[in-house]
């Protein structure tokens, strides 16, 4: 027959289980507002029954309380984090695209392109019909200067925005490093608690999951946790947690973690003519290899910031090495992309830049541009003789290898908008100057202007202005020369200082023009704003510049907002699904409180009843 006191022990196990359930319920209620907390449940099972060789067979022995376990669905976690990376990327794009759009738009307080361009045309119209007063020439020159100042200011604002994004990139990298360190520390703490026991470090695992949620917004992540086995293949209770980012680059492996660092580019390491100084490249500190952040499958806030900073619409320098001259330390590269054959669309640094050939960086001092009679385009880069820069000498093995400058980022970011501004400024200045320097061009004083231009650019190095002798459409030039339209940017766009100082030197007509009020040069310049035969920008007339730019900005902002809304809705749905599983519900916990309280009371009552039985048996039963 079973032990006389079996019932007491059975009731006691029920009392212990109910007590543990009540304590767990109290913990859930206490953490109802704790971010990242997962609801816990007591795991229990029926105790192994006792077998008796009597008619009733086995006798139950109560309940075994195994421990408190988190209620969590790993599938929902993975889905949430994958979506969180996409949402983080679009959040950054939506914010900065809205800023870019606001910079481009006209407003009531800040004169924009449309207002200033119209003012310039109006000033030229007045000048064409008022030839006797120098004040009209002064007004036209002032209007042109205001247009230049608009481009200068917009260029500076976009560069400042690029610098701000660059600073935020470093903040995000520092955050990745901090999270990696914390996760590695948590991995160790979890294993200390769980190794050799059946205990689960619930709170520590919640902290790690919360960090994974945070990290997934910054960069796409993947992770795996596997059991650690002993020499005999038996589970030890310990686990190994491996975390990767950027499509598979190792960040955390158990207790070990890797760190990233932001390395600012030197002035001679620029990859884009319009970039601000000190843009960061991201490297692994242990290997020195660059983080593959530009990959097409990468997502997250960091990827969004990189695309906003470096996005060039996929128009980067790319070609094949055709020859190497070891005597002159130069390398010639053939390019086939149309935008690389056009001065007005040039974006590569004119001097002191870097080019990657066959996977190795080489630094150049300047380059020669040539288009031959067959229409083939070549860039010959004159490499630096400084061995601290070029540690590897170029040789003939480079022939046939690919050559690139910068990354091809298929997004319209700051780099793209700066290039578009430069393209318009170069084309407009060239077209304007070509008409302005017509044969026989004569100024107010009746003097020939001898090819003196109207628009130019300020040389920040020596305070002079560019002569702009190398025309848009030229088939050869050297980038180190200060005489070409390739030197002109929206940031240095200006009116010839001679005209600002003395408006009477402005060319208004050609020598053949008859009559005091017939200013043929001015009338020809007026036609430039709408005549696409004289100037075309992306298939539109000169005055449609802002429409083209705003269309790009509005489309990018709209796309970012649309994707942001989509991913935000998905995130909310997934988060609600996760909370329905792992979140603490006050009503549910209140119901559990009553249920476990009743279980505790019944177990206590059972012990009390059995106590009376044993008292009767022991004290009132005698021989």
Query: Would you say residue 302 has pLDDT above 50?
Result: yes
Question: What does pTM read for this prediction?
Answer: 0.91
Residue scoring higher pLDDT (560 or 512): 560
Could you tell me which of 88, 151, 170 has the C-alpha nearest to residue 492? 151
CB 458 within 8 A of CB 496: no
Q: Which stretch of 317-331, 362-376, 397-411, 527-541 has the lowest confidence by average pLDDT?
A: 527-541
Measured distance CA(181)–CA(176) in Å, rounded: 9
CB 318 within 8 A of CB 403: yes
Query: Would you say residue 517 has pLDDT above 60?
Result: no
Rounded to an integer, the average pLDDT of 371-384 is 95
Rounded to an integer, the average pLDDT of 48-65 is 74
Query: Would you say residue 559 has pLDDT above 70?
Result: yes
Query: Would you say residue 177 has pLDDT above 70?
Result: yes
Reduced to 3 states, what is the DSSP secondary structure of residue 606? helix
Distance set, CA 551 to CA 102, 159, 554, 587, 615 (Å):
12, 20, 5, 52, 92
Backbone angles phi, psi at 512, to 5 degrees: -80, -10
3-state secondary structure 80-116: HHHHHHHHHHHHHHHHHHHHHHHHHCCCCCCCCHHHH
Rounded to an integer, the average pLDDT of 593-620 is 87
Rounded to an integer, the average pLDDT of 280-301 is 93
Could you tell me which of 53, 27, 63 has the C-alpha nearest to residue 602? 63
Query: Would you say residue 514 has pLDDT above 60?
Result: no
Query: Would you say residue 621 has pLDDT above 80?
Result: no
User: For the segment 219-276, what is each residue's pLDDT rounded down to a tens digit?
Assistant: 999 999 999 988 888 888 899 999 999 989 999 999 999 999 999 999 889 999 999 9
- With cut-offs at 50, 70 and 90, classify the pLDDT of residue 113: confident
Reduced to 3 states, what is the DSSP secondary structure of residue 159? helix
Measured distance CA(143)–CA(277) in Å, rounded: 31
3-state secondary structure 542-599: HHHHHHHHHHHHHHHHHHHHHHHHHHHHHHHHHHHHHHHHHCCCHHHHHHHHHHHHHH
Backbone angles phi, psi at 262, to 5 degrees: -95, 120
The pLDDT score that the predictor gives to residue 1 is 52
Q: What percent of the chain has pLDDT over 70?
A: 96
b/e per residue 48-70 (b: at least 16 CB within 10 A): eeeeeeeeeeebebbbebeebeb
The pLDDT score that the predictor gives to residue 108 is 47
Measured distance CA(92)–CA(561) in Å, rounded: 10
- With cut-offs at 50, 70 and 90, classify the pLDDT of residue 607: confident
The pLDDT score that the predictor gives to residue 107 is 53
The pLDDT score that the predictor gives to residue 273 is 93
Reduced to 3 states, what is the DSSP secondary structure of residue 443? strand
How close are the terminal C-alpha atoms of the chain, in Å? 22
Q: What percent of the chain has pLDDT over 90?
A: 69
Which letter does DSSP use for residue 613 in this model? H
The pLDDT score that the predictor gives to residue 109 is 45
Rounded to an integer, the average pLDDT of 465-492 is 93
Torsion of CA 28, 31, 37, 42, to 10 degrees: -20
Mean pLDDT, the chain, integer: 91
Rounded to an integer, the average pLDDT of 312-323 is 95
104, with CB counted inside 10 A (0-12, 13-18, 19+), is buried
Measured distance CA(432)–CA(439) in Å, rounded: 14
Backbone angles phi, psi at 572, to 5 degrees: -65, -40
The pLDDT score that the predictor gives to residue 399 is 95
Measured distance CA(103)–CA(490) in Å, rounded: 14
Which letter does DSSP use for residue 264 in this model? E
Which residue(s) pair with 495 in the sheet?
455
Query: Would you say residue 64 has pLDDT above 80?
Result: yes
Query: Would you say residue 49 has pLDDT above 90?
Result: no
Could you tell me which of 66, 30, 27 has the C-alpha nearest to residue 46? 66
CB 334 within 8 A of CB 449: no
Find the DSSP H helices in 293-446.
301-310, 414-436
* Strand ordering across the sheet containing 249-253: 221-229, 235-245, 249-253, 256-257
The pLDDT score that the predictor gives to residue 513 is 52
3-state secondary structure 470-514: ECCCCCEEECCCCCEHHHCCCCCEEECHHHHHCHHHCEEEECCCC
**Highest mean predicted confidence (pLDDT) among 43-52, 108-117, 171-180:** 171-180
Rounded to an integer, the average pLDDT of 459-465 is 89
272, with CB counted inside 10 A (0-12, 13-18, 19+), is buried
Query: Would you say residue 410 has pLDDT above 90?
Result: yes
Rounded to an integer, the average pLDDT of 486-493 is 95
User: For the segment 519-558, what is each residue's pLDDT rounded down to a tens digit?
Assistant: 788 888 998 989 988 988 888 888 888 888 888 999 999 9
**Highest mean predicted confidence (pLDDT) among 218-222, 480-484, 605-609:** 218-222
Query: Would you say residue 54 has pLDDT above 70?
Result: no
Query: Would you say residue 132 has pLDDT above 80?
Result: no
Measured distance CA(138)–CA(309) in Å, rounded: 39
- With cut-offs at 50, 70 and 90, classify the pLDDT of residue 56: low
Rounded to an integer, the average pLDDT of 432-454 is 89
CB 414 within 8 A of CB 272: no
């Amino acid at each position: 027959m079973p032990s006389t006191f079996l019932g007491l022990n059975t009731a006691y196990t029920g009392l212990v289980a109910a007590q543990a359930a009540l304590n767990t319920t109290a913990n859930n209620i206490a953490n109802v507002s704790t971010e990242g907390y997962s609801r816990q449940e007591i795991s229990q099972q029926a105790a192994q029954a006792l077998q008796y060789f009597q008619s009733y067979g086995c006798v139950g022995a109560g309940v075994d309380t195994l421990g408190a376990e988190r209620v969590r669905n790993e599938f929902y976690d993975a889905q949430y984090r994958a979506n969180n990376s996409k949402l983080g990327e679009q959040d950054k794009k939506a914010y900065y695209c809205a800023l870019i759009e606001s910079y481009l738009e006209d407003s009531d307080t800040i004169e924009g392109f449309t207002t200033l361009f119209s003012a310039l045309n109006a000033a030229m119209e007045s000048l064409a019909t008022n030839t006797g007063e120098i004040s009209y020439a002064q007004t036209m020159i002032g209007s042109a200067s205001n247009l230049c100042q608009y481009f200068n200011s917009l260029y500076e604002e976009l560069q400042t925005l690029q610098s701000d994004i660059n600073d935020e990139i470093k903040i995000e990298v520092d955050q990745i490093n901090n999270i990696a360190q914390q996760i590695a520390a948590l991995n160790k703490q979890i294993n200390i608690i769980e190794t050799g026991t059946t205990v689960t470090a619930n709170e520590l695992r919640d902290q790690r999951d919360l960090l994974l949620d945070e990290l997934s917004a910054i960069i796409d992540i993947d992770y795996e946790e596997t059991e650690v086995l002993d020499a005999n293949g038996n589970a030890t209770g310990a686990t190994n947690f491996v975390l990767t980012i950027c499509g598979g680059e190792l960040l955390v492996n158990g207790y070990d973690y890797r760190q990233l660092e932001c390395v600012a580019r030197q002035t001679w390491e620029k990859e884009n003519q319009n970039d601000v100084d000190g843009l960061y490249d991201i490297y692994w500190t242990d290997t020195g290899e660059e983080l593959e952040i530009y990959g097409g499958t990468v997502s997250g806030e960091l990827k969004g910031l990189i695309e906003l900073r470096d996005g060039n619409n996929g128009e980067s320098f790319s070609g094949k090495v055709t020859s190497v001259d070891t005597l002159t330390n130069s390398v010639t590269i053939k390019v086939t992309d149309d935008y690389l054959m056009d001065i007005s669309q040039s974006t590569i640094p004119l001097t002191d830049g870097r080019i990657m050939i066959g996977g190795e960086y080489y630094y150049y001092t300047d380059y020669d541009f040539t288009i031959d009679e067959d229409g083939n385009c070549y860039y010959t880069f004159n490499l630096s003789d400084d061995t601290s820069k070029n540690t590897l000498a170029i040789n003939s093995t480079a022939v046939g290898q690919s050559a690139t400058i910068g990354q091809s980022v298929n997004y319209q970011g700051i780099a793209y908008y700066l290039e578009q501004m430069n393209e318009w400024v170069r084309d407009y200045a060239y077209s304007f100057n070509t008409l302005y320097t017509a044969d026989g061009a004569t100024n107010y004083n009746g003097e020939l202007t001898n090819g003196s231009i109207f628009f130019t650019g300020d040389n920040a190095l020596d305070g002079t202005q560019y002569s702009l002798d190398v025309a848009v459409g030229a088939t050869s030039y050297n980038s180190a020369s200060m005489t070409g339209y390739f030197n002109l940017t929206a940031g240095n766009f200006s009116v010839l200082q001679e005209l600002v100082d003395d408006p009477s030197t402005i060319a208004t007509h050609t020598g053949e023009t008859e009559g005091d009020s017939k200013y043929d040069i001015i009338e020809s310049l007026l036609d430039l704003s709408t005549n696409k035969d004289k100037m075309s920008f992306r298939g539109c007339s000169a005055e449609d510049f802002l429409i083209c730019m705003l269309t790009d900005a509005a489309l990018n902002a709209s796309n970012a907002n649309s994707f942001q809304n989509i991913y935000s809705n998905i995130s909310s749905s997934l988060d609600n699904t996760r909370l329905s599983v792992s979140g603490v519900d006050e009503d549910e916990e209140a119901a559990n409180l009553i249920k476990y309280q009743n279980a505790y009371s019944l177990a206590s009552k059972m012990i009390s009843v059995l106590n009376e039985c044993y008292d009767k048996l022991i004290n009132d039963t005698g021989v």
